[in-house]
Chains A and B, each alone.
Chain A
Amino acid sequence: MALCLFCNAERREPLTFRTLLSPETEAGFCPACRDGLKRINRRNNCLYCGRDLSLLDQETVRDRICRDCVWWRKSGRNGLYVKNYSVFSYNEFIKEIINQFKFRGDSILADGFACDLRKTFQRIKKEHGTRTAFRLLDKMDASFIIVPIPLSAARLAERGFNQAEVLAEKMGAPVTNALVRDKHEPKQSKKNRRERLMERVTPFRINADYASLIEGGKVLLIDDIYTTGATIRLAAEALAQANPIEIDSLTLIHG
């Protein structure tokens, strides 16, 4: 019997047609752990940042867009960046999983999210596919260039792996390390929200080898968590140098 990646309990899967047909189940979490994850309702999420709107004070929501996203639009800093997709809302439980994954280095935990990431990626492609169908002259199909948010060399050495890259690899499509991070701003937690939003100098730059690949393509940035949206936009700003047609992002968590 397969064991839960996180709590190590036996995964008693309900016997369905699918589990009957494939006895070799994918590595993953047990039903109890999956219950602890707070999945974002796709019918009631922010059209831009993908957050679960039911968690907000409804006063702050207009036309399914949250106040933060309105702020970003007014700031004029979105550029080619369009929208973010997230799978789960931040809560204490996913925080524990992410701590073990990111800070203790238990990178196999990403396998537990592989299925969700793959499905979300399929959905994103479908969403974009229908849109391009009306623009027959558009040279692009719905394929994305997947670019994980990088760590600086120093942070990478300290941690041993890039959590965004590990997540990106679970999506079942090639990953392009098109970005380089020259430095790490002081640890994120030490900055307050305002300081983070005001950060204007991008620490990212494009890896020259990939510039031609990005040109005219659609980019999907990958990270573990979308907090203020500042990091993603700084990365998008750097990518914009290579003239893609659009930049979106997918994060495991919105928090």
Chain B
Amino acid sequence: MLLISRKNDYFPSYHLDMQRFLFGREFRAEELPFPDKVVKEHVKNGYVAVRPGIESLNDNIFDLLSGRKKWLCARCGNRDQEAFATCACSHCRKKCVYCRHCLTMGIVRSCTNLVTWIGPEPESWTCSTHNDVQLCTWDGRLSDDQNAAAAALDQALTARESFLIWAVTGAGKTEIMYQAIEHQLKKGKHVVLATPRTDVVRELLPRMRAAFPSVPISGLYAGSDDVRADAPLVLSTAHQLIRYSKCFDCVFIDEVDAFPFHFDPMLEFAVRKAAKPGAPFAYLSATPPAALRSAYLSGSLSGVKLSRRYHGHPLPVPRFHWIGGWLRAIQKGQLPVPLRVWLTEKMEQKRQVFVFVPSVTLSRDLTEILQREAFDRTVGVHAEDPHRHTKVADFRNGKINILVTTTILERGVTVPGVEVCVVGADDPVFDECALVQISGRVGRSAEYPAGDLVFFHNGKTLAMVRALGQIKQMNKEGAL
């Protein structure tokens, strides 16, 4: 290991390697690639801070009286007492509490120390070399709506204010971010784009790299090996941000509304922890969660609403089609008639289609039926499918005609000219937000701005009606 010291007359030295490794991040002491003695020296000289991994939450007298201890995991923010357990620990030779919630990132016990950098920030990548060079080389053109949104976003983040981009699916959110990202990077800021899903990181990473060819960009998701500790721009799933701490000056959150964000408080904690205190957040969503929506509507959160797609055409509006006992039919191995009629028509028109179903089992069963019924070039995908990425790639390059899928493909995956049906749109897994996202798969490209979109159902649900209302409302606003 190369250890370079920086010395001057007033301050004791620190190792640049340690600074680069630890800045903006927080590790368990045992994860550090530095000798104990060196770490201790840095702690003594005030460059490195250490805190316990598990904190006790016994602040009220009630808990103290009952003798029941409550815990908090300092790394992942877990407070769910069910997700703590005790182990006979050989380090502290006692019963030791550990957090089960973030175990996959390496165990945090009550005797675990979390270590972070509190010394000077490393010299920023941009300031030194790229001050007057154009970083973003994307040469596409923004629509007027997009341009206005991009400018407003840039301005808000420069003023360190959070901002909401409420944009219909296909409004071109990614391109809207470029101006603001460029500006932040040039000022030597650390920028992160967090999304809840691996697929979104995988889809965005090549686009960002193409748009910012000279910028080192890290892409973090489970299983990625694309980690550069000092990259000024990081694309990450929320989960992977757990090892970061007070790193980013500016945070973009794509698809804020997406599962598992609003289910798992740990992910929100991870994103907040990764940001520096007071860092502005840019939220991007087609269907913002209620809290953000009302903050925007009441004026406490600034933002813009883009009701029109970048190509200017309206959103495709779903048709509702009753399909009766479709579930029984599929379970008996039969293809429900309306679905057969629709698919036959699509195949004759040589269209590619997504068929959304409520569950993995149904995806498997329906795929089998379709293959048997000579709808060849049909495959099914679901979240745990190991071949998911190749199947989606095959669909993109036209090797596959029909993709039967669970809600995992409701966002992120964009294929020009695709048409969509939802089988069992009345199932509770299809909430308003999911249905709007699914509808957003249709008509994304300027070449095919329209396209068929059917909700096959066995009784309309409130979610279906609301999704339809939302789409119509956006079209009305967009037409103005």
Q: Give A contacts to B, CB under 8 Å.
A: 3, 100, 104-108, 156-157, 159-162, 165-166, 169
Contact = CB atoms under 8 A, between A and B. Distances in A.
Given A100-B103, A160-B107, A107 B90 contact: no
Given A3-B82, A107-B88, 12 more contacts: A104-B106, A104-B107, A105-B87, A105-B98, A105-B103, A105-B107, A106-B85, A108-B85, A160-B89, A160-B91, A160-B109, A161-B87
A207 to B, nearest CB: 16
A100 B104 CA distance: 9
Interface in B179-204: none
A93 B242 CA distance: 28
Interface in B100-134: 100, 103-104, 106-107, 109
A160 B104 CA distance: 16
B87 A104 contact: no
Contacts of B106: 104
Name the residue among B88, B89, B103 with the largest chain A CB count within 10 angstroms. B88
Nearest to A106: B103
Contacts of A3: 82
Which 6 residue pairs of A and B lie closest in terms of their CB atoms, listed nearest first? A108-B85, A107-B87, A105-B107, A156-B90, A104-B103, A161-B87
Nearest to B83: A8
Contacts of A161: 87-90
A106 B85 CA distance: 8
Given A3-B82, A105-B98, A160 B103 contact: no
A169 B86 CA distance: 13
29 contacts: A3-B82, A104-B104, A104-B107, A105-B87, A105-B98, A105-B103, A105-B109, A106-B85, A106-B100, A106-B103, A107-B85, A107-B87, A107-B98, A108-B85, A108-B86, A108-B87, A108-B100, A156-B90, A157-B90, A159-B90, A160-B89, A160-B90, A160-B91, A160-B107, A161-B89, A161-B90, A162-B90, A165-B88, A166-B88
Contacts of A104: 103-104, 106-107
Interface centre among B90, B91, B109 (most CB of A within 10 A): B90
A161 B94 CA distance: 11
Contacts, number: 44
Nearest to B108: A105
Nearest to A2: B82
A103 to B, nearest CB: 10
A160 B87 contact: yes
B87 A166 contact: yes
A108 B109 CA distance: 13
Q: Select the residue from A108, A159, A160, A161 with max chain B CB neighbours within 10 A.
A: A160
A120 B85 CA distance: 25
Nearest to B90: A156
B246 to A, nearest CB: 27
Contacts of B86: 108
A105 B85 CA distance: 11
B100 A157 contact: no
Contacts of A166: 87-88
Nearest to A157: B90
A65 to B, nearest CB: 37
Interface string B213-241: 00000000000000000000000000000
Contacts of A159: 90
A159 B89 CA distance: 9
A117 to B, nearest CB: 16
A63 B261 CA distance: 59
B10 to A, nearest CB: 39
Nearest to A166: B88
Contacts of B90: 156-157, 159-162
Contacts of B103: 100, 104-106
Nearest to B87: A107
A161 B91 CA distance: 8
A169 B88 contact: yes
Nearest to B91: A160
A36 to B, nearest CB: 15
Nearest to B85: A108
B86 to A, nearest CB: 8
A242 to B, nearest CB: 25
Contacts of A160: 87, 89-91, 107, 109
Contacts of A106: 85, 98, 100, 103, 107
A26 to B, nearest CB: 14
B71 to A, nearest CB: 14
A157 B151 CA distance: 55
B85 A157 contact: no
A62 B104 CA distance: 45
Contacts of A108: 85-87, 100
Contacts of B82: 3
A100 B88 CA distance: 16
A3 B83 CA distance: 11
A35 to B, nearest CB: 17
Nearest to A103: B107
A44 to B, nearest CB: 34
B265 to A, nearest CB: 15
A107 B103 CA distance: 11
A104 B103 CA distance: 6
A160 B109 CA distance: 10
Contacts of A165: 88
Q: Among A3, A105, A162, which residue has the most Cβ atoms of chain B within 10 A?
A: A105
Contacts of B85: 106-108
Nearest to A27: B85
A148 B88 CA distance: 14
A169 B88 CA distance: 10
